[in-house]
Amino acid sequence: MLDPDRGLSLTIARVVQRLQGSSLHSQLERQARVSLHKPEIKLESLKEDIKDFLKTSGWEKKLQNAVYSELNMFPSPCHPAAPPEHIKEPLAYMRKAQGSWEKRILKSLNSMSTELNIPLAQKRPANEQKELLNKWNEMGTDEPDLSLFRPVYAPKDFLEVLMNLRNPNYENGEQPSFRNHLGLIQVPLKVKDIPELKEDFSELGLNIGQLGIDDSAQVPPEFFENEHVRVGQKVLAEQDSAAAQQYVRQGCPTALRADLWALILNISNQPEDILYYEQLKSNVIQHDLLVDSLIYKDVKLTASNDDYYFVFEDYLYQVLLCFSRDTSVLEHFTYSSATPPKSYIQGKLGMEEYAVFYPPNGMNFNYNSFILSVAPLCFLYHEPSKLYQIFREMYVRFFFRLHSISSHPSGIVSLCLLFETLLQTHLPQLFYHLREIGAQPLRISFKWMVRAFSGYLATDQLLLLWDRILGYNSLEILAVLAAAVFAFRAVNLMEVTSLAAAEAVLADLSTLKVMPLLQIFLFATVT
């Protein structure tokens, strides 16, 4: 075990290393230099004066936000001697499973490329480049022939892999009984129980005002809403990430949400960020990737048919095509259990100097789930480069965990296990009944969680849910909500006699109000 001081100094070292050389660093230096001209900076107390200056001019706050952001993203170091793969994923069997899953996906992608005789990447001819540039803002109306492309994998394939995970060091010699875990996930990860969740999510308690509950038509705004909005405006004026993160646990007022999320994710849309986005855009114009067609196909299948998101179809293409070429995303692989697949320039197989990551951002999966995590953001940000950055940050902070196999408490494996455990512990009769009729609850709720409920809830409800994801810096709330939904529809579910009927009962979540459901499940259910 690492002693706390050691851990702290390691963390500090890591944060310093990451921020060194960043644009914030150079801006701070520049500001410090500029301040030398100010009369209040005296040579005798240079260091103190500059520090004070940075504080009053708001630059210290920016640094604070950046540090806070780093702390949120990276796990605490386990031990200075821990190898890098332990930071990605401490459990060996998980790493192995993720590795085989990746191999499988890559194989599928390669065989598609061979079958269709389309290279994984190729430079676009000049006239095609020009054409694409012209219709950059309306790619949705261009319908290339996508019939031969198939998704790399379906969500249920991924679920199958998760179901088959086993810890080779764990021997469960007990006879299967009521007290054993009856669900699909059979790995012994630690998940929280309701008392622990109540503590973690204490701001969702019955005595605390919430947006999504206490701003409904029947409640006069003076009780909670007006004050909450006032506080929100203050938080924004202070530009304090940590305060914002605390604040959004009670929900964001719609008019403040875009700015609050940007503050929490530490996105400021600087000129260099816009430039970076434009650079990505030109990469898209110049080169055509095989995965582009997969993206097209998946956007057409999902967002174009969605009641809320169809309007933003074109933005989705722009964001996703750029994202697949964004190599800065490769950074997150240091703390993700996934590893970006490598591809080799034609004819140079195995020669490391000719290896490239494919696609450039290293992400290979079913874009389906992934597309739906961009779409809700279109309701908040209509400027493309800002939309892009917010999405990228949301992805490397949270959503990547839904697509890789890991032991992280916010990883999809833990979420599935948390969901099943909550259901089995608190609604055992329902769980048993569904299992008996061949309708394992996870089979239904998996798709909700893997998409963070996007495409299932009404947009305003989804945004209230994602407020809490940001506020608590965790995806566990997805599992809690999934269990709460089952609890809500328990009466109907007890009467069904087939998987199809159970699916039908849970098919339409668009009328659900998430905050009351969560509150009742966590705080008002007799356990």
Partner 1 sequence: FRIMAGKVKWVTDIEKSVLINNFEKRGWIQVAENEDWNFYWMSVQTIRNVFSVETGYRLSDDQIVNHFPNHYELTRKDLMVKNIKRYRKELEKEGSPLAEKDENGKYIYLDFVPVTFMLPADYNLFVEEFRKNPCSTWIMKPCGKAQGKGIFLINKLSQIKKWSRDSKTSSFVSQSSKEAYVISLYINNPLLIGGKKFDLRLYVLVSTYRPLRCYMYKLGFCRFCTVKYTPSTSELDNMFVHLTNVAIQKHGDDYNHIHGGKWTVSNLRLYLESTRGKEVTNKLFDEIHWIIVQSLKAVAPVMNNDKHCFECYGYDIIIDDKLKPWLIEVNASPSLTSSTANDRILKYNLINDTLNIAVPNGEIPDCKWNKSPPKEVLGNYEVLYDEEMAQSDGTDRDLRGRPGQSTGVKGSRARDSGKPVLTTWK
Site residues (vs partner 1, CB under 8 A): 137-138, 140-141, 143, 215-217, 221, 225, 253-255, 257-258, 304-308, 310-315, 378-382, 458-460, 463
How would DSSP label each residue in 311-355?
GGHHHHHHHHHHHTT-GGGGGGGGTSS----EEE-TT-TT-GGGE
The Cα 466–Cα 165 span in angstroms is 29
Which C-beta is closer to partner 1: that of 254 or that of 283?
A: 254
- Radius of gyration of the chain from its Cα atoms, rounded to whole angstroms: 24
Residue with Cβ nearer partner 1 (219 or 275):
219
Minimum Å distance from CB 48 to partner 1?
A: 41
- Minimum distance from residue 70 beta carbon to partner 1 (Å): 28
**Residues contacting 239, CB < 8 A, separation 6+:** 58, 61, 62, 65, 263
DSSP designation for 375: G
CA distance 446 to 450: 6
Nearer to partner 1, 197 or 387 (CB): 387
Shortest Å, Cβ 242 to partner 1: 23
Q: How many CB atoms lie within 10 A of CB 137?
A: 11
Is the Cβ of residue 50 or residue 463 nearer to partner 1 in the bound state? Answer: 463
Sign of CA dihedral 313, 318, 323, 328: negative
What's the closest the beta carbon of residue 64 comes to partner 1, in angstroms? 27
Nearer to partner 1 (CB atom), residue 452 or residue 493: 452
Strand positions, DSSP E, 396-474: none
Smallest distance from partner 1 to CB 481, Å: 18
The token pair at 525 is 């259910």
Judged by beta carbon, residue 430 or residue 464, the one nearer partner 1 is: 464
CB of 379 to partner 1, least distance (A): 5
Give least dist CB 201 to partner 1, A. Answer: 23
Q: Return the number of the residue (316 or 482) whose C-beta is nearest partner 1.
A: 316
The size of the chain, in residues, is 527
Amino acid at 70: E
Residues 6+ apart with CB under 8 A from 34: none
| Residues 280, 281, 286, 290, Cα dihedral to 10° | 80
Smaller CB separation from partner 1, 375 or 482: 375
Nearer to partner 1, 314 or 476 (CB): 314
| CB of residue 307 to partner 1, shortest distance in Å | 5
Q: Is the CB of 140 or the CB of 360 nearer to partner 1? A: 140
In angstroms, give the least distance from the CB of 218 to partner 1: 9
How far is CA 474 from each of CA 387, 397, 466, rounded to the nearest angstrom?
A: 21, 9, 10
Give the burial string for 368-400 (b: 16+ CB within 10 Å, else e): bbbbbbbbbbbbbbeebbbbbbbbbbbbbbbbb
Structure tokens at 325: 């070429």
CA terminus-to-terminus distance, the chain: 35
For the CB of residue 469, give the shortest distance to partner 1 in the complex, in Å. Answer: 17
What is the closest distance, in whole angstroms, from the C-beta atom of residue 82 to partner 1 in the complex? 42
Please give the angle made by the CA atoms of 95, 101 and 107, to the nearest 5 degrees: 135
Q: How far is the CB of 511 from partner 1 (least distance, A)?
A: 11
Q: Would you say 250 or 406 has its CB closer to partner 1?
A: 250
Dihedral sign, Cα of residue 237, residue 238, residue 243, residue 245: positive
Nearer to partner 1, 458 or 490 (CB): 458
Query: Which of 81, 51, 66, 58 minimizes the C-alpha distance to 19?
Result: 66
